[in-house]
């Protein structure tokens, strides 16, 4: 064997090893680092690294639900977190929500935890209801994110549009809080799990209020949500429980993922829930039973196999 041949074989072998390593690496798609998706994603990575040691996983910070589902459709990522309403929009192909066609490759792993609408206002802004946002300076979340779509839906239910606001900012939670604390915004709308870091930070640094959204309003005019309550003491200085709108988050994968891999991923997650709970208080409500109570899109066969074996679905 000549030296040139040996070099070519070495290069080929190295390329094959590199390709194999890439094939065994998977991304977990989350959201902004000041939200809840990101720390939950870190906990998922820790569990999967331990339970599936032959694979490697990384956590990717994204603009959350809409971007996550579009990435899965393109074949990027193995697990994503996404809101239930956005899942339905993606499945049906809603251009207004950022899905010009049906996202046919997305598949469900199971439900996670609920998001709560945090309508966070400066105490000196005089805001006691959604209708009071007219003429105010509001951050609605990153453009075309699930948060922004939630904000748009809530404003619409209250008979408002962005045109009724003095200023609309499309910012991540951390940036929004900085402007709120400095008095450059009146309101930040945050759709996230309980205990979200951005609201905690704002509550520590400024005089702010969580504006209530009544159950009657949700039932009559915002039926895409369900009534929820932010318990007293969820944030610094929050003395009373606050009624608000809520919706479920889900763990999602792709139809291209092998059944055996998704089965092992699902088993790793739901057999190690204590590790997920430790990541963030919002995650403490995740359960096997609740995971398949509502199925907004098709369940992945690998996940279905796990839940059947666990005895929580027929």
Helix (H) or strand (E) holding 97: none
Q: What is the pLDDT of residue 2?
A: 64
Q: From residue 294, how far is each of 62, 112, 250, 291 by CA, in Å?
A: 25, 11, 10, 7
Neighbours of 90 (CB within 10 A): 29
Q: What is the pLDDT of residue 6?
A: 56
Q: What is the pLDDT of residue 7?
A: 58
Quote the CA–CA distance of 297 and 107 in Å, as a whole number.
7
- For 303, the 3-state DSSP assignment is helix
Q: What is the pLDDT of residue 3?
A: 55
* Beta strands at 79-83 and 187-192: parallel, antiparallel or unpaired: unpaired
Token duo for residue 102: 């049906």
Quote the CA–CA distance of 249 and 233 in Å, as a whole number.
23
Averaged pLDDT in 10-residue chunks for the chain of 314 residues? 56 42 82 94 98 98 96 98 96 95 97 97 97 98 93 96 98 96 98 96 98 97 94 97 97 98 98 97 96 96 98 95
Q: Which value, in Å, is the radius of gyration of the alpha carbons in the chain?
A: 21
Q: What is the pLDDT of residue 284?
A: 96
Looking from the CA of 264 toward its CB, the CA atoms found within 13 Å total 13
Token duo for residue 209: 């209020």
Tell which residue, 41, 45, 46, 47, has the closest CA to residue 61.
Answer: 41
Q: What is the pLDDT of residue 21?
A: 42
Q: What is the pLDDT of residue 18?
A: 39
In the chain, what are the helix, strand and coil shares in percent, each to the nearest 5? 45, 20, 35
* Averaged confidence pLDDT in the chain: 93
Q: What is the pLDDT of residue 23?
A: 56
Tell which residue, 229, 61, 210, 201, has the closest CA to residue 145.
Answer: 61
Q: What is the pLDDT of residue 253?
A: 98
């Amino acid at each position: 064997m000549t030296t040139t041949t040996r070099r070519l074989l070495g290069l080929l072998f190295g390329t094959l090893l590199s390709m194999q390593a890439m094939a065994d690496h998977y991304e977990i798609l989350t959201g902004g680092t000041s939200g809840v998706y990101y720390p939950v994603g870190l906990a998922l990575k820790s569990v999967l690294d331990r339970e599936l040691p032959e694979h490697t996983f990384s956590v990717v910070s994204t603009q959350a639900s809409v971007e996550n589902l579009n990435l899965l459709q393109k074949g990027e990522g193995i697990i994503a977190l996404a809101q239930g309403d956005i899942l339905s929009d993606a499945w049906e192909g809603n251009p207004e929500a950022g899905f010009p066609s049906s996202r046919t490759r997305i598949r469900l792993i199971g439900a996670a935890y609920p998001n709560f609408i945090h309508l966070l206002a400066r105490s000196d802004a005089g805001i006691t209801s959604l209708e009071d946002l007219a003429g105010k300076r509001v951050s609605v979340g990153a453009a075309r994110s699930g948060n922004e779509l939630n904000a748009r839906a809530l404003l619409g239910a209250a008979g408002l549009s962005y045109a009724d606001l003095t200023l609309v900012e499309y910012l991540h939670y951390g940036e929004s809080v900085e402007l709120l604390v400095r008095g450059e915004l009146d309101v930040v709308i945050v759709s996230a799990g309980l205990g979200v870091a951005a609201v905690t930070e704002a509550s520590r640094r400024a005089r702010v209020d969580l504006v209530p959204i009544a159950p009657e309003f949700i039932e009559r005019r915002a039926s895409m949500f369900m009534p929820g309550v932010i318990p007293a003491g969820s944030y610094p200085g929050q003395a009373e429980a606050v009624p608000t709108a809520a919706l479920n988050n889900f763990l999602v994968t792709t139809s291209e993922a092998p059944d055996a891999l998704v089965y092992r991923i699902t088993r790793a997650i739901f057999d190690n829930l204590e590790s997920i709970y430790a990541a963030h208080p919002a995650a403490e409500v995740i359960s096997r039973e609740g995971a398949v109570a509502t199925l907004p899109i098709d369940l992945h066969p690998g996940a279905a196999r796990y839940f059947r074996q666990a005895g929580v679905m027929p």
